[in-house]
Amino acid sequence: MSDNSGKVFGIAVTFCAMFLFWLLLSGYIITPEGKLDVIHVGAGIICSAIVALISHDLLVTGKEEKILSKSFRFFIYLGWELWQIILANFDVTYRVLHPKMPIDPLIIEFETPLRSDFALVTLANSITLTPGTITINVDPAKGKFLVHAIAQAPADALTVDKTMQNKVAKVFMEEG
């Protein structure tokens, strides 16, 4: 892919993502009473185009390969992550409301084979978004994470099961 066609592709992908996001936030996709009119659609197109022209290199870098495949896998991953957030909310609620409060906070350190910026940021944010765990520090050169966990079970999910790490690796095709 030439440099110019890569730039056009990045702008197109960013424009589509921004316009779909604009439609979603506008309520036109979700609510049946939302009516699309020329003024609002035109405003969305113009705003999405401006954002795409300014920031296309943030979403689609020239170095990335298989962007559509990774994007599809990422959206599947988001569904899984949302489910994990729901489950973790129930776990934290149980721990807080339980008479013995089975809370045993600890800080864990683990290494991951992930190396791309997007993969590391996705894993770090996924850990922090899941109640009961918070990413404290990431060393990108070594793939080393420092995480606070509310108890041993959430810590084991990161260090023993490694389900989240494996799913992020699959999304970004960094499987070992």
Domain span at residue 105 reads 67-171
Tokens 């936030």 sit on residue: 25
Shared-domain flag, residues 45 and 108: no
Structural contact between residues 147 and 159, judged by C-beta atoms closer than 8 angstroms: no
Question: 13, 36, 59: which is the final residue of a domain?
Answer: 59
Q: Measured in Å, how far apart are the chain's first and last C-alpha atoms?
A: 27
Classify the phi-psi angles of 64: left when phi > 0, otherwise alpha if psi is within -120 to 50, otherwise beta.
beta
User: Is the confidence at residue 63, as pLDDT, over 70?
Assistant: no
Shared-domain flag, residues 71 and 135: yes
pTM of the predicted structure, to 2 decimals? 0.70
127 CA to centre of own chain: 10
71-102: per-residue pLDDT in tens?
A: 788 889 999 999 999 999 999 999 999 999 89
> What is the Cα–Cα distance from 46 to 22, expressed in whole angstroms?
11
133-157: per-residue pLDDT in tens?
A: 999 999 999 999 999 999 999 999 9
